């Protein structure tokens, strides 16, 4: 019994190390990209997505041309690798989010973004993210209102 416990506790760090390498955030770098039901242009389009849309990359084909992804809303599919980048990005997951002039609720709301609006993440200041939209507008959003990665 002691041997089993020792083996179990020794295996925990290995499991974490493997899991952390399997999932990586990526975002769409092109104006539009297609999430497909399989790895190839001949597969059905599941969803059309725009620039900065973030995904978790799950795996890729052996030829590295297609990446299997999952989005914030659980949508899964395949995207051509040339459409993706490692640029940090987030997407609004709440029904509405205030985009502010600065990092805090004391700053003026300059516009509102609705669920599904993607942003490139420029920087983090505590729980606040400085973001850029597809029209090159810059503002700040609270991190609990979005899904994705920002450093």
Beta bridge partners of 99: 111
Number of domains in the chain: 2
pLDDT at 40: 97
pLDDT at 3: 40
Residue 145 CA to residue 62 CA, distance in Å, equals 36
Same domain, 35 and 66: yes
Q: What is the mean pLDDT of each run of 10 residues along the chain (151 residues)?
A: 41 32 83 97 98 97 96 97 97 98 98 98 98 97 97 89
The answer to whether residues 15 and 7 touch, using CB atoms and an 8 Å cutoff, is no
Phi, psi of 139 (to 5 degrees): -165, -175
Q: What is the residue range of 125's domain? A: 89-148
Rg of the chain on CA atoms, in Å: 18
- Pair of tokens at residue 126: 């505590």
Same domain, 94 and 142: yes
pLDDT at 60: 94
Same domain, 43 and 70: yes
Helix (H) or strand (E) holding 19: helix 2-22
Same domain, 139 and 108: yes
CATH code for the domain in which residue 81 is found: 2.30.30.40
């Amino acid at each position: 019994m002691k041997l089993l416990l020792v083996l179990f506790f020794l295996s925990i760090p290995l499991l974490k190390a493997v899991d952390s390498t399997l999932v990586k955030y990526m975002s769409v770098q092109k104006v539009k990209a297609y999430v497909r039901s399989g790895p190839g242009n001949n597969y059905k389009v599941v969803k059309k997505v725009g620039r900065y849309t973030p995904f978790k990359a799950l795996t890729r084909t052996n030829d590295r041309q297609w990446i299997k992804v999952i989005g914030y809303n659980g949508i899964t599919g395949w995207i051509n690798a040339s459409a993706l980048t490692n640029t940090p990005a987030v997407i609004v997951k709440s029904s509405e989010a205030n985009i502010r002039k600065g990092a805090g609720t004391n700053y003026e709301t300059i516009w509102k973004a609705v669920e599904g609006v993607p942003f490139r993440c420029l920087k983090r200041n505590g729980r606040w993210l400085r973001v850029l939209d597809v029209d090159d507008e810059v503002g700040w959003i609270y991190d609990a209102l979005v899904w994705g990665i920002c450093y």
